[in-house]
Structure 1
């Protein structure tokens, strides 16, 4: 086995029925500019990675609680959980119920993808 990586993560891509509202949402949440926007695709450029959003006409959001079908989710570090959650809701996210704990807040983005807000202090 070698320590040389096979690849580097360049972008994560989310599916959505309409890329623009999801691109606007994630741009506001992450502070990343939208660098590509068409009817079929959007891309946000971050400091070291990109976030893509592809149009899938019959997109179905993952379930929550996940029942083993959710493939992955974002954990986002924030300074104030409740203030960040309130801002995300203002931007179009929905808070899920039940919440699984007190050290994070689970929300769904406008296309229904679950994501977690976590206390930045826990990440060092």
Structure 2
């Protein structure tokens, strides 16, 4: 009888930026979640922040050498896709929270690219795009 191979589960999705707290607060507000925990560096300064709805966890941390990608020239290793029932209202809320809208918009009517406060691209789209 062969033993089952260990299978991992995702504990958290982690994103670095120039200000982990600001990034955590932006995404917590955008998602309607809360910043629930913070973790200090070796000097006791909080540098990592947990945002959760109780089922999914995002960790946002301050990265000392962070540089936002020069998008669209730089390829992105990954990014977030957020969906809204009302995309226009969602975009307005995100812009009010500190996101910006770059000129380059490759998604046509399927998605809109925004930049979070650290300059990292993420996409927003109608919830109907994600019916599986």
Class of the TM-score when normalised by the shorter of the 2 chains = 0.7 to 0.9
Scaled by the length of structure 1, the TM-score of the pair is: 0.88
Residue equivalent to 1:27: 28
Which protein shows a greater Rg?
A: 2
Contact 1:19 1:42 (8 Å CA) reproduced? yes
Contact 1:81 1:104 (8 Å CA) reproduced? no
Match of 2:115 among 108, 114, 119: 108
Question: Matches of residues 9-88 of structure 1 in structure 2 within 5 Å?
Answer: 9-37=10-38, 39-68=46-75, 70-88=76-94
Scaled by the length of structure 2, the TM-score of the pair is: 0.83
Residue equivalent to 2:43: none
Contact 2:110 2:129 (8 Å CA) reproduced? no
Which runs of 4 or more aligned residues in structure 1 lie more than 3 Å from their structure 2 counterparts after TM superposition? Answer: none
Deviating more after overlay: 46-55 vs 101-110: 46-55
Separation in 2 of the partners of 1:61 and 1:27? 20
Cα RMSD of the aligned pairs, angstroms, is 1.9
Question: Cα deviations across residues 99-120 of structure 1 (Å, max 9, x unaligned)?
Answer: 1112211101101111100110
Contact 1:64 1:96 (8 Å CA) reproduced? no
Contact 2:21 2:61 (8 Å CA) reproduced? no
Report deviation, 1:35: 0.8
Gap runs ≥5 in structure 2: 41-45
Gap runs ≥5 in structure 1: none
Report deviation, 1:66: 4.5
